Structures are given as C-alpha cells and as structure tokens.
Amino acid sequence: MNSLAWEKEPAGDQYFLHLYTKKQPDLNWDNPAVREEVYKIMQFWVDKGIDGFRMDVINYISKVPELPDMPAEGPFLASPYFANGPHVHEYLQEMHQRILSQKEFIIVGEMVSVTPEEARLYTHEDRYELNMVFTFEHMYVDAVGEDKWQIRPWNLPELKQVFGKWQKGLSDGCWNSLYLNNHDQPRMVSRFGKEYRVESAKMLATFLHTLQGTPYIYQGEELGMTNIRFDSIEEYKDIDTLNYYREATECFQKDPADVMEAIYTKGRDNARTPMQWDSSSNAGFTEGTPWIPVNPNYSFINAENALKDPDSIFYYYQKLIKLRKEHKVIVYGDYQCICEDHPSVYAYVRNYEGVSLLVVLNFFDVPAVLDLAGCEIPGTGLPEKAECLIGNYYDSPVYKKQIELRPYEAVVYLGI
C-alpha cells in the first residue's frame, strides 16, 4: 500500500484514498449515493444563480476497479489507474442530465493526462458533457517529461506544435480554453517574458486573445504581476512546494540553493501572493496580516497605477476583449500557423467568412524579422493588404511582406 496515496481513518482500521493532500479525499463515484450527494451540492449553487462550474481534475473521478497496486517494476506512471477511467463519461453524462441541462452553463473541466482525441470525447457538442477542458501539455514545455521541477529551456517551435495540435484537434464541434497562468502555475511574464515586463505581458495577452477558444484571465495577469522570491522555505505555504523541498533535500540530498531556484521558477505560491490593488500597506489587500506575504514590487505594480496609465497592461486587455466582441474572425476563425520553423516569431492566420486575420508575435527580447514572402502559406487567405488592428508598441506598423519586430512585439493585421 502506497502511504502517500492512502490514509488510515483515525477511528477505525479502514483507509481512504487521496491522490492529493489527505485533506482532499477521493470520492467513490461508483457509489450512486455519493453521486446523488454531489448533485445536491451542485443544485444548491444552481439555485443560488451561478452560471457555471470549474471542475477540478474531473477526469480522475472513475478509477480502475479494485484499485490495483502499481507494478513493482517499470516507470512510475500511475495515471492509467485513475485518469479517464471506465465510467467517467457515463458519470459526466448523468451529471449533465441531472444538473447541467437546466440552463446554458459554462462548464470547464481541469484535466491532467488528456490528449486532444480524449478531450473531444469530453467536449464535443453532441456528447452533452463539458464545454471545454483545461489542458496541461503546453505547461510542460519547460519541464523534463511531466516533472515540472526538472526545468529545461523551452523553445518556441515546440510551443507552436503544442498549441497548433490543440487548435486543430478541437476545431470541429469542440472548444479550447486558453491560459498561460493560473493558481497552479507561475506568473506568465516571469516564465515567458522576463525582461520587458510590460511589452511581454501585452504580447502574451495578444496571443491568448487571438486564438480560437475562450481566454481565461488570472487575477493580476492584467497588471503584469510577477513571480515572488521569498528568502526561505519557511515563508512558502503550498503543499506541493513544501513536499518537493523536503523530498529533494532529505531523500535525494540536493543542494537547497538549487532546490530553491526551481521553486522560484515553478512554485505555485508565485501565483498566490495577494492581489496588488495599490501602494498602501499589504498592497491594499488587507488591513490585517495576509496568509502569505505580498510581492515587494506592489509599490509600482498595482491596479491603482494601472488605471492612471492610459498605456497600461490593464487597458490593453480591455482593447483585446473589445476586439473579440467586434470581429467574429477572432472568435470563430480557423487556425493556420505560418513560418512554423521561425525560432523566435510565432505567426498564424485566422480566416472566417472571407475575413482574414494575421497575428505576428516576437516571443523574445531581441529584434526579429518575419519574411512572409519566404513562408509557405497554402490556402490560408493571407491578405494582400491589411490594416493594423492592434499592437503593443505606441505606433501602428504598416503591413508589408517583411515585418520587422521589436523585442516582444505583437502586431495583429486585419485583411482589407
């Protein structure tokens, strides 16, 4: 029995399964009475008037029968025993029939260990399960396998390949969710932007808001909030971070300084520091003592300052959201990556009902050139003429076949 996954019930001799912390026991969804209780809880919130559900690792609710032990030999890969199990679709369709069919909810399921083909089974409009899923493949582009603590340099062609696979894989009858940070991930500007915080934040926002799918904005993302570097492990709260530190230093004798560098890069507490409202004490978040310290840069990265600056990241997000409402091609257009082998520029074309959109993004801190004349662009509907719809620098670059990009520059052209 794996002591990490099983906890002895204090008042007896039984054990309960917890794939995560022991404070989060796994429910036995094979028991109809358990499912009924879940539906009662959901109905309580439906009656309160909520508009949707975010379902945590929902593809883990159906386990392999008898809960077998993992083989003693071979790779440590437990997910086949609890991910995308034998009854998961049956239970989700039952949930839809009982609860989710009552009105037009937004239903998103967080799903580790899922492929585009499997995601289609969860999200296709004819299956009556979920609207979309949070996928994780793009969150491992800077990791060795699925071990986020083993950090490797990420490269843009791999990021293009992953996003392209999901854009095309869920394009017919399904829908994508779009995110680069959330409560479980480091801040996107620290991960993919580093220097040029404002420019990179706007570039990454342009990326998320010009793909097919629903963009999710995590708190502080619209301000360009960054990762945190606490002085000692004692200041961290996240159980995943604390378990990693203990295991790495005590079991594998790793240098604590090296372990802390990994935590500075990938720790979940990076995204969990208090929201930075203003430059007052505790960033205006509380007059008491916050559960975790505020990022010291709150004195200049905060909502109050953003609202005073007409060129702030916050107002740029508003422009992107407005454009999605005004141009159907941004929401419904198909996706075609161009110049796919370019090492620093991510460019793609969206087409819908005769309208074309060209998105050009420099993902790095050095200037780059995109030569459209040298790209193979079969059938993408690339416009001969176009106007600049939005860009993250102060001017509006003129559309031409050879596009020169400044560090982290983003330009979106609309065909005319």
Does the annotation mark 56 as catalytic? yes
Question: Helices 313-326 and 197-209, interaxial angle, to 10°?
Answer: 20
Distance CA 313, CA 302 (A): 11
**Bridge-based pairing state of the strands 386-391 and 15-17:** unpaired
DSSP state for residue 373 in the 8-state scheme: G
* 111: its two tokens: 């799903």
Distance CA 114, CA 137 (A): 9
Distance CA 139, CA 151 (A): 11
Buried b (16+ CB within 10 A) or exposed e, 11-44: eeeeeebebeeeeeebeebeeeeebeebbeebee
Phi, then psi, of 280 in degrees rounded to 5: -80, 180
Element (H, E) at 163: helix 156-169
DSSP state for residue 97 in the 8-state scheme: I
9, 36, 37, 56: the active-site residue: 56
Nearest to 105 by CA among 127, 136, 134, 129: 129
* 408: its two tokens: 């982290």
Given its phi and psi angles, is residue 177 left (phi above 0), alpha (psi -120 to 50 degrees) or beta?
beta
110, 129, 221, 222: the active-site residue: 110
Contacts of 33 (CB under 8 A, 6+ apart): none
Which residues are bridge partners to 349 per DSSP?
336, 358
Catalytic machinery residues: 56, 110
